[in-house]
């Protein structure tokens, strides 16, 4: 409990110390504000009303690293940062801290902060603490508060996975992980993830910033929905406990900079195996059936019958059942009489299994007493398990802040799953809904109330699953998914937006949800294609869902329909050929998606991007629409309304755009209407881009890879460039240099296209001829500065250049 003097007025601060990049302000009432200059574009503020830290360690901060220590990172640990040159001045009224791009002004009377960003040669004030009661210096209760002034022209994007519009302005959100089965993608709040970070963008000055509140607590963000006459226009953050510990990230000229820097700050995204980008089948119906192994075999048969490409299947929790209930790590041998044969049968067709695992042991779980006696469960003060409701039974969560629990979990993952050939773990129902105040987590030797860090349990669970996979097969990259999570989850898992409800409205707002997640540092994500719960999607809705889902890093069709039907590629014969064609289009695009995930891993680039984030200076891109950028090169415009055969698309100004399907060119700054049949979703390539493709003929159970590139040269002078990362797609050999790259450039002027295609590093296979596609209306002669032009022909709107790289 805090002991805080109830101050009638904000405290008066003075400079107490300045050592290295840490500046401490203190007041006679023991209030402290600590400032940490971490980079020229990142400054951290720690507000301590009674001068003491109250939050636990942090598991979020991992600048440029793959992980943090298992027991967390001390709050004042500055390792990983290289402090920049900065200047501090103090005139008795305010303290000013200035880097090359941030100027922080702290009013010593009250500690109120004002933030300026340098853009060009001019400083722009971008954020001010509210002048009245910005912090909780003993005003109200023991919660953590931060109130800042709000401007009417601001755009707020982020906060992770949220329902509703992409712009969070004038809304409020609760960050409390919860199992929101069948949620409404437009209105439901809270949802599954806890990511207290958002980007503020101010279009009038093209400046912005990111704010990250480093807390594990349940918290709430009000983005201008609340009004109070005494305080003017404001937005605010409230956490249930802990400390006000936030990071300000400057982002002049583009909001994407703040996203990159936040992702860097919280750790390097996992580099996962390439097969994780393939289609993943899934449904609860198969494993819930009494003849589950047979039903699972039928899925393979149908994939072969309809030539539906597939790389993995998510094995729902029915495989663990005893009667109607589910028991993690148990195999139901009546449903699966031959586990090894079942798994090997899938592997023989190139389909890996990702098994569902849950972190709660039901009270009648075969291992419950063992786990309870060993102290592996979250307990109440009296030493009894802290009982929670979990599905149709009472149980207790495992406590992943206990190293013994982590060891037990890893051994079960290995023995129950990995040794049978299961390739990956599906970490599910891991919201850790612990509401009782007397539940205690061991906290790596520093016990604390379990409800105060539920999201930490989620993070440690996925980390334990990842580590089990690493220990079992150290030569293979782990692949795992998690429904719930928090800041830093991108270091471990691919994720999805949970148990969505089947509707056109969900399709539209899941698109925005994925963009918000990408703008919060989590790029490797997707949705349950077709909708998970509610009615089965009709043929049109299902086809449109697939036509959208093929562009997301996670592409899984998953369902638990009310009528017992299953969302499968062949569920409607009238659209099965189009669905199969869309899945083949997905596989054609995998080299581009793989490159985008590499850029996410290596350079912290978001894979999905809102239009305004890629084109912040185009006013029409500020409107909350239904389009998105896939990387910086491809504009995707899904059909999200019933009965539409065409799609109206606004093309951002300042560049040309070319239709993937027709090769037709369009100037930016206009709206166009394009055909949108089911199997040909609207895709436009940006001028100056080069995108990698796999043009090999592919069939179910057969893998083939032939690299080609599609490009849009500049109409006048300029250089288009792009390429793709190349490795074996699965092993950890890339860490020791077993990785190569294609680099493609097309330098153009009014008369000529000069093409260079180069290979560097260790390529996984030899390919000495490459096809390069440019729009058919591009008639300038071609010269090859790297490679030899063998053939030049046009068809279907594209000009195909075949180039030899043979020595």
Please tell me the distance from the alpha carbon of residue 482 to that of residue 372, in angstroms, as a whole number: 25
Other C-beta atoms lying within 10 Å of the C-beta of residue 517: 27
Q: Which of 408, 674, 640 is nearest to 541 (CA)?
A: 640
Structural element, H or E, at residue 288: helix 284-288
pLDDT of residue 489: 98
Query: Cis omega before residue 190 (within 30°)?
Result: yes
Indicate yes or no: pTM above 0.95.
yes
Res. 783 pLDDT band, cuts 50 70 90: very high
Quick one: which of 207, 260, 261, 248 has its CA closest to 35? 248
Interval 404-446: pLDDT, tens: 999 999 999 999 999 999 999 999 999 999 999 999 999 999 9
Residues 6+ apart with CB under 8 A from 245: 44, 45, 46, 47, 55, 58, 75, 213, 214, 215
Q: How far apart are CA 601 and CA 715, in angstroms?
A: 32
DSSP labels, 133-144? --S-SSSS-SSE
User: Residue 4: pLDDT above 60?
Assistant: no
Of the pLDDT bands very low, low, confident and very high (cuts 50, 70, 90), residue 10 is confident
- Average pLDDT over every residue of 628-652: 98
Q: What contacts 735, CB < 8 A, 6 or more positions away?
A: none
List the beta bridge partners of residue 58. Answer: 73
Residue 43 has pLDDT above 90, yes or no: yes
Report pLDDT for 5: 54
Burial 749-765 (b: 16+ CB within 10 A, else e): eeeebbbbbebeebbee
Q: CA 67, CA 493: separation in Å to the nearest integer?
A: 13
Strand 94-98 versus strand 102-107 pairing type: antiparallel
Nearest of 525, 503, 504 to residue 514 by alpha carbon: 525
Q: What is the mean pLDDT of residues 23-48?
A: 97
pLDDT band at 140 (very low <50, low <70, confident <90, very high): confident
Q: Report pLDDT for 6.
A: 61
pLDDT at 9: 79
Alpha helices of 604-707 — where are they, by DSSP H? 611-614
pLDDT band with cut points at 50, 70 and 90 for residue 806 = confident
pLDDT band at 1 (very low <50, low <70, confident <90, very high): very low
Q: Work out the percent of the chain whose per-residue pLDDT is above 70.
A: 99
Mean pLDDT of 441-470: 96
pLDDT tens-place string over residues 223-280: 999 999 999 999 999 999 999 999 999 999 999 999 999 999 999 999 999 999 999 9
**In whole angstroms, what is the distance from residue 687 CA to residue 633 CA?**
8
β-pair type (494-496, 525-526): parallel
CA distance 343 to 420: 7
- Residue 558 to residue 276: CA distance in whole angstroms: 15
Nearest CA-CA partner of 281 in 700, 618, 795: 700
C-alpha span between 448 and 405 (Å, rounded): 17
CA distance 530 to 568: 9
CB 364 within 8 A of CB 372: no
The span from the CA of 53 to the CA of 253, in Å, is 36
Cα torsion through 135, 140, 145, 151, rounded to 10: -70
- Report the b/e string of 26-65 with b at 16+ CB within 10 A: bbebebbbbbbbbbbbbbbbbbbbbeebebbbbbbbbbee
Q: DSSP label at 533? A: B
Q: What is the Cα–Cα distance from 37 to 197, expressed in whole angstroms?
A: 19
- The pLDDT value given to residue 807: 75
Report the percent of the chain where pLDDT is more than 90. 97
pLDDT of residue 7: 65
In angstroms, the CA 252 to CA 352 distance is 44
Mean pLDDT of the chain: 96
Query: Of 572, 585, 725, 608, which Cα lies nearest the Cα of 278?
Result: 585
What is the tens place of the pLDDT at every residue in 720-737? 999 999 999 999 999 999
User: Longest Cα pair distance anywhere in the chain, in angstroms?
Assistant: 83
pLDDT for 8 beyond 80: no
Can you tell me the distance from the alpha carbon of 216 to that of 56, in angstroms, rounded to the nearest whole number?
Answer: 8
Alpha helices in 349-485 (DSSP H): 368-373, 403-416, 454-472
Beta strands in 86-223 (DSSP E): 87-90, 94-98, 102-107, 113-119, 122-128, 144-149, 155-158, 172-175, 193-194, 197-202, 207-213, 219-222
Q: What is the pLDDT of residue 466?
A: 98
Q: Which CATH superfamily is domain 274-478 in?
A: Glycosidases (3.20.20.80)
Residue-wise pLDDT tens digits, 563-608:
999 999 999 999 999 999 999 999 999 999 999 999 999 999 999 9
């Amino acid at each position: 409990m805090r002991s805080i003097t109830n101050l009638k007025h904000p405290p008066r601060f003075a400079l107490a110390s300045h050592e290295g990049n840490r500046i401490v302000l203190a007041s006679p009432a023991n209030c402290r504000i600590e400032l940490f200059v971490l980079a020229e574009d990142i400054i951290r503020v720690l507000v301590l009303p009674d001068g003491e830290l109250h939050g636990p360690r942090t598991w979020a901060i991992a600048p440029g690293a793959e992980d943090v220590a298992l027991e967390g990172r001390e709050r004042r640990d500055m390792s990983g940062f290289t402090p920049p040159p900065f200047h501090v001045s103090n005139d008795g009224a305010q303290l000013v801290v200035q880097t090359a791009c941030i100027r922080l002004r702290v009013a010593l009377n009250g500690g109120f902060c004002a933030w300026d960003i340098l853009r060009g040669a001019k400083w722009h004030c971008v954020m001010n603490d509210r002048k009245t009661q910005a912090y909780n210096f003993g005003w109200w209760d023991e919660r953590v508060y931060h109130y800042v002034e709000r401007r009417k022209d601001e755009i707020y994007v982020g906060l992770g996975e949220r329902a509703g519009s992409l712009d969070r302005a004038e809304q409020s959100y609760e960050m409390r992980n919860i199992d929101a089965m069948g949620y409404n993608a437009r209105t439901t709040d809270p949802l599954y993830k806890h990511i207290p970070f958002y980007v503020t963008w101010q279009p009038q000055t093209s400046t912005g910033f990111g704010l990250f509140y480093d807390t594990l607590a349940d918290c709430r963000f009000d983005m201008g929905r609340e009004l109070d006459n005494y305080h003017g226009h404001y937005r605010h953050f409230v956490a249930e406990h802990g400390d006000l510990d936030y990071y300000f990230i400057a982002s002049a000229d583009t909001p994407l900079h703040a996203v990159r820097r936040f992702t860097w700050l919280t750790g390097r995204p996992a580099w996962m195996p390439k097969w994780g980008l393939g289609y993943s089948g899934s449904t609860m119906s198969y494993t819930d059936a009494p003849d589950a192994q047979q039903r699972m075999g039928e899925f393979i048969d149908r994939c072969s019958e309809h030539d539906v490409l597939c790389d993995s299947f998510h094995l729902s929790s029915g495989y663990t059942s005893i009667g109607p209930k589910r028991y993690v790590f148990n195999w139901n041998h009546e449903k699966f009489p031959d586990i090894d044969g079942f798994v090997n049968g899938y592997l023989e067709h190139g389909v890996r299994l990702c098994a569902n695992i849950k972190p709660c042991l039901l009270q009648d779980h075969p291992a419950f007493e063992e786990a309870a006696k060993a102290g592996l469960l979250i307990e109440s003060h009296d030493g009894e398990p802290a009982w929670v409701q979990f599905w149709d039974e009472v149980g207790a969560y495992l406590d992943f802040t206990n190293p013994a629990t982590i060891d037990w979990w890893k051994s079960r993952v290995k023995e129950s799953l990995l040794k049978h050939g299961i390739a990956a773990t599906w970490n599910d129902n891991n919201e850790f809904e612990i509401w009782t105040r007397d539940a205690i987590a061991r906290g790596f030797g520093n016990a604390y109330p379990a409800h105060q860090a539920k999201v930490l349990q989620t993070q440690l669970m996925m980390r334990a699953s990842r580590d089990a996979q690493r220990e079992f097969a150290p030569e293979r990259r782990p692949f795992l998914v998690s429904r719930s999570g928090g800041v830093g989850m991108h270091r471990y898992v691919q994720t999805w937006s949970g148990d969505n409800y089947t509707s056109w409205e969900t399709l539209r707002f899941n698109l925005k949800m994925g963009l918000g997640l990408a703008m919060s540092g989590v790029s490797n994500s997707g949705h349950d294609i077709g909708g998970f719960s509610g009615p089965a999607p009709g043929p049109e809705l299902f086809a449109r869902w697939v036509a959208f889902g093929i562009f997301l890093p996670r592409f899984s069709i998953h369902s638990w329909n009310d009528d017992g039907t299953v969302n499968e590629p062949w569920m409607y014969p009238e659209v099965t050929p189009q669905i199969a064609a869309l899945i083949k289009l997905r596989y054609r695009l995998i080299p581009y998606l793989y490159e985008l995930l590499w850029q996410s891993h290596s350079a912290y680039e978001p894979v999905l991007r809102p239009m305004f984030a890629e084109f912040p200076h185009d006013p029409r891109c500020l409107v909350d629409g239904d389009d998105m950028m896939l990387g910086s090169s491809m504009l995707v415009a899904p059909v999200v309304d019933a009965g539409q055969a065409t799609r109206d698309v606004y093309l951002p100004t300042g560049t040309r755009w070319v239709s993937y399907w027709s090769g037709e060119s369009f100037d930016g700054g206009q709206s166009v209407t394009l055909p949108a049949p089911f199997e040909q979703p609207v895709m436009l390539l940006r001028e100056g881009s080069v995108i990698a493709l796999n043009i090999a003929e592919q069939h179910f159970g057969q893998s083939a890879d032939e690299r080609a590139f599609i490009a849009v040269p500049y109409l006048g002078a300029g250089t288009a460039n792009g390429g793709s990362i190349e490795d074996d797609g699965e092993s950890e050999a890339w860490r020791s240099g077993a990785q190569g790259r294609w680099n493609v450039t097309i330098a153009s002027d009014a008369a000529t296209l000069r093409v260079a295609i180069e290979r560097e590093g260790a390529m996984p296979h030899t390919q000495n001829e490459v096809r390069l596609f440019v729009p058919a209306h591009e008639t300038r002669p071609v010269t090859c500065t790297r490679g030899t032009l063998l053939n030049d022909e046009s068809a279907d709107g594209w000009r195909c250049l075949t180039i030899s790289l043979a020595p």
